[in-house]
Structure 1
């Protein structure tokens, strides 16, 4: 069975690139445009992992992460943050809120796949 990934990202070029990368690696991908859209989708469909941008309209990534980890049905879904914000305080805050990992943009597709495989294998 394919692992299902929910990509939460508002930049269409990043959505396209990451989706192609993940699908070519045999992963199933769903997309949410912002944190609010992600929380709605998580009510009906439970992915194996969430890739989460931080800077988005409506509901930012940190608020979405906090809401996911506070919800009994979504708290155990591992989240990898993908963000251009790579300051230590951003990374620390995301990890404190329960992120399994944090990748700074830009990143190489093979690095992203390696981190995804590691997090899925660990069952974080």
Structure 2
């Protein structure tokens, strides 16, 4: 019997079969869902140990499935690998660094897939604030306040760096436009 159940939510049979073929034989039971609605049903019914979620799906998008997962404490604990052929589609909705899930760009190779699964499993173990904080949870959240502040400061520093880069690019574009208008 397989020790890990992996739910692959992707409308491409090729990706579903590719994931299945890349996993070590005997260790994994792969369950497949062809759209977001079916994926959410199987998350609840099959209780997978890992979810591989395509970001572009019919019926319910990967973004909607992601939001549903994040809204429930029990589902947020399941390791998650988000897949997409274009990383920009994901970063439009979810800013980097991806703290609690792993991202893998399609097409991927076996080594990348195994690495993404391992990383997703370690990221899923990271403590995070509850969606609806109970009094006991609030006390434990306060204890980890220093870590939260440090993480936020790192995110702010990354954003400031990104803003500086964008300002530089805008200046370059304006200079180019001015030269063309002369």
TM-score (norm 2): 0.60
Moved over 3 A (4+): 94-99, 121-124
TM-superposed deviation, 1:122: 4.9
Task: Supply the RMSD in Å over aligned alpha carbons.
Answer: 2.3
Structure 1 Cα separation of the partners of residues 95 and 41 of structure 2: 23
Question: Where does the alignment leave 5 or more consecutive residues of structure 1 unmatched?
Answer: none
- The within-5 A match list for 1:1-124 is 2-24=3-25, 26-87=27-88, 90-91=90-91, 93-94=93-94, 100-124=101-125
Q: Does the 8 A contact of 2:79 with 2:123 survive in 1?
A: no
More strand by share: 1
Q: 1:25 to 1:99 in 2, by over 3 A?
A: farther
Structure 1 Cα separation of the partners of residues 32 and 24 of structure 2: 12
More helix by share: 2
TM-superposed deviation, 1:35: 1.1
Q: How many residues align?
A: 123
Structure 1 Cα separation of the partners of residues 108 and 94 of structure 2: 18
2:11 is paired with a residue of what secondary structure?
Answer: coil
Q: Does the 8 A contact of 1:80 with 1:99 survive in 2?
A: no
1:37 is paired with a residue of what secondary structure?
Answer: helix
Question: Where does the alignment leave 5 or more consecutive residues of structure 2 unmatched?
Answer: 126-182
Structure 1 Cα separation of the partners of residues 99 and 119 of structure 2: 16
TM-score (norm 1): 0.84
